[in-house]
Amino acid sequence: MLSLLIGQLGLLLCCLLSPTDATVVPGRAFDRFISIWLENQDFDKVVVDSAFADLKRFGILQTRYYAQTHPSQPNYLAAVGGDYWGLDHDEVVRIPSNVSTIVDLLERKDISWGGYFEGMPGPGYMAEASVGRPENQSPNGTWDYVRKHNPFVSYDSINFNGRRLLNLLSLDDFQSDFAAGVVPQFVMISPDMLNDGHNTTLDYATNWVREFLKPLLTDGAFAEKTLVQLTYDETEDYTKPNRIASLLMGNAVPKKLLGTTDDTFYTHFSILSTMENNWGLPNLGRFDVGANVFQFVADATGYPNTDPPNVANINNSISYPGPLNRNHPTKLMTFPPPNLKLTGAGGEPVLEAIAQTWKSEAKSDTPYDGSGRVYDGDDLPVYKGQGLFTALIRTHHITSRKKLQRVRKAASQHALPFVLIRSGGSPGIMYAEGAEADVNAWVSFVRGLRYKDFQCPRKPAANMVLVPSQAIQGSFEEVTSVTEFGHRMEQRGLASWWKSAMGYSSST
Ligand SMILES: *[C@@H]1O[C@H](CO)[C@@H](O)[C@H](O)[C@H]1NC(C)=O
Ligand SMILES: *[C@@H]1O[C@H](CO)[C@@H](O)[C@H](O)[C@H]1NC(C)=O
Ligand SMILES: *[C@@H]1O[C@H](CO)[C@@H](O)[C@H](O)[C@H]1NC(C)=O
Ligand SMILES: *[C@@H]1O[C@H](CO)[C@@H](O)[C@H](O)[C@H]1NC(C)=O
């Protein structure tokens, strides 16, 4: 009797003290993310494949998901680093240790992570490829595992760190971690060159992945809410805009969404913004900021997704310039500084460690502006100042619709990302933010319109603005009450800046 009691107590203790339960950091829409990557298929072909159709019943099909470029490697790098650095080839690359990744963001919140790569000979293996399984060895294929499908090892911030390298394991390790219930909270998986479809066919890979996923999608497979993404690195056809198929499955997907489609615009940068949004993570200050969040997650958190401003011209077929680029006529030698002023989908600023590392470049131009704009080899990233310029105008009142149309047109001609107007009663107030030259030009234009009692109590100057999400950016807004105007200023961290300029008490 006593021994039975002790036995039960032991069982109880063992479960209470289980290390896996203790370390799971809950997210807003899911507690674990597993992304599994297949190779080189076009959306139109994947969605009619029969094994894929089977899986579709268990998930949400993302119909407007675009890979970043060609060939494979830059797409993998983008999903963890928020940029692909202009890369346009698959050979060994290294990214300096002062460039951060998703790993830094996750570790900041003690969220476990791992990469599992089929055929990887040992933890943290860094060579270009493995020699593969004996049955595949010469004279036939020998490269099962390839470094180009493992984004982590190319970042020095990971490969200089033995503890981090130990998180890069083989697919056999995934199976044992799954069996033991210790799968990390953020996982990327690449099957080998046969199972991912690279050296085989579309249906070879989808059949393999269907079998692989079955146990993961079974009821009770995971105790925590788990989101499983099946995605492709890029399309096979290099002449089309690179739309791939991506499917969200797992017990984190609301039941009513199974078998549905989601037409929100995504790229692989959306993986980063979705993690930031789900766990309230800081951001990388790169293209992670402004990328749409997976819609069912955005619905749970209230994050406003929008199409990128250049959505009509997306063609992610050729890499934009960057330090890892070989072929673009525009040459760039250095890794761009992150934009330290951005607020990401987690509602948080750039990771403190990044701000610290890059503080000497806090005033340098950067291609990252949080707008969600998508760049390619024909539509190059534009380098702009990090400090937004802001200006405040007051007039007696703003009522003429005709004049207001001209104000709006000028804002769009000068590409101001955000303008706010208080129209109707007195006083009329206008706020604008953007690049220095643009804000200057717009203010002179408005002055020329001869509004009654025109004043510019805040002349165009660099300012610390909390740029919220891209949804609030990229717009020309008109409000009718001063209270509402004040609310928008507060959202941007400009409460006392505008109140004192208007002569309102700045103490409240
Ligand atoms: C290896 O290549 C030979 C000749 O092309 C072929 O007959 C054989 O089936 C291949 N073996 C494997 C395991 O693919
Ligand atoms: C896959 O194809 C590449 C050439 O594209 C070849 O070098 C490699 O050995 C093949 N790997 C396997 C496992 O068949
Ligand atoms: C996209 O870019 C590729 C490569 O330059 C080109 O072949 C293709 O025509 C472009 N497609 C569109 C729709 O612009
Ligand atoms: C980042 O690292 C690169 C390569 O080592 C170096 O050239 C650059 O100056 C560094 N920048 C900062 C801000 O640390």
Task: Tell me which ligand sits closest to the C-alpha of residue 314.
Answer: 3
Query: What is the per-residue pLDDT across 170-229, written as a single tens digit (0 to 9) for each?
Result: 999 999 999 999 999 999 999 999 999 999 999 999 999 999 999 999 999 999 999 999
- By CB neighbour count within 10 A (0-12 exposed, 13-18 middle, 19+ buried), where does 223 fall? middle
**Nearest ligand, measured from the Cα of 199:** 2
**Which residue has a Cα nearest atom 8 of ligand 2?**
141
List the beta bridge partners of residue 186.
33, 113
**Cβ 264 vs Cβ 64: under 8 Å:** yes
Cα-to-centroid distance, 272 and ligand 3 (Å): 27
Which pLDDT value is given to residue 304? 83
The CA distance from 146 to 95, in Å, is: 18
The ligand 4 atom nearest the CA atom of 98: 1
pLDDT in tens, 129-159: 986 556 655 554 467 899 999 999 999 999 9
The answer to pTM > 0.85 is no
What's phi and psi for 433, nearest 5 deg?
-135, 150
CA 155 vs. chain centroid, Å, equals 17
Predicted local distance difference test score (pLDDT) of residue 135: 60
The helix-helix angle for 269-279 and 72-81 (nearest 10°) equals 20
Mutate to test the pocket of ligand 1, among 135, 136, 140 (most ligand atoms within 8 A of CB): 140
pLDDT of 459: 84
* Alpha helices, H only, 17-145: 19-23, 43-46, 50-56, 72-81, 102-108
Q: CATH classification of 389-502 is 3.30.70.100, yes or no?
A: yes
Average of pLDDT values for 295-300?
A: 97
- Nearest-CA residue for atom 14 of ligand 3: 315
2-313: CATH topology is Alkaline Phosphatase, subunit A (3.40.720)
Q: Is the confidence at residue 46, as pLDDT, over 50?
A: yes
Residues 6+ apart with CB under 8 A from 360: none
Q: How many A from CA of 67 to the centre of ligand 3?
A: 14
Q: How far apart are CA 226 and CA 29, in angstroms?
A: 9
Atom 1 of ligand 4 has which residue's CA nearest to it? 98
> What are the pLDDT digits (tens) for 376-417?
999 999 888 787 788 999 999 999 999 999 999 999 988 898
Ligand 3: centre distance to CA 314 (Å): 10
Q: Which region, left, alpha or beta, applies to residue 132 given φ > 0 means left and ψ of -120 to 50 means alpha? A: left
Q: Which pLDDT score, from 0 to 100, does residue 55 have?
A: 97
**Range scoring the smallest mean pLDDT among 20-24, 268-272, 424-428:** 20-24
User: Can you tell me the mean pLDDT for 50-71?
Assistant: 98
Confidence of residue 68 (pLDDT cuts 50, 70, 90): very high
User: Residue 133 has what pLDDT?
Assistant: 58
Mean pLDDT over each residue of the chain, to the nearest integer: 90
Atom of ligand 4 nearest to the CA of 358: 13
Domain boundaries, the chain: 2-313, 389-502
Tell me what percent of the residues of the chain surpass a pLDDT of 90: 76
Instruction: Tell me whether domains 2-313 and 389-502 share a fold.
Output: no
Nearest CA owner, ligand 4 atom 13: 358
pLDDT tier, 466 (very low <50, low <70, confident <90, very high otherwise) = confident
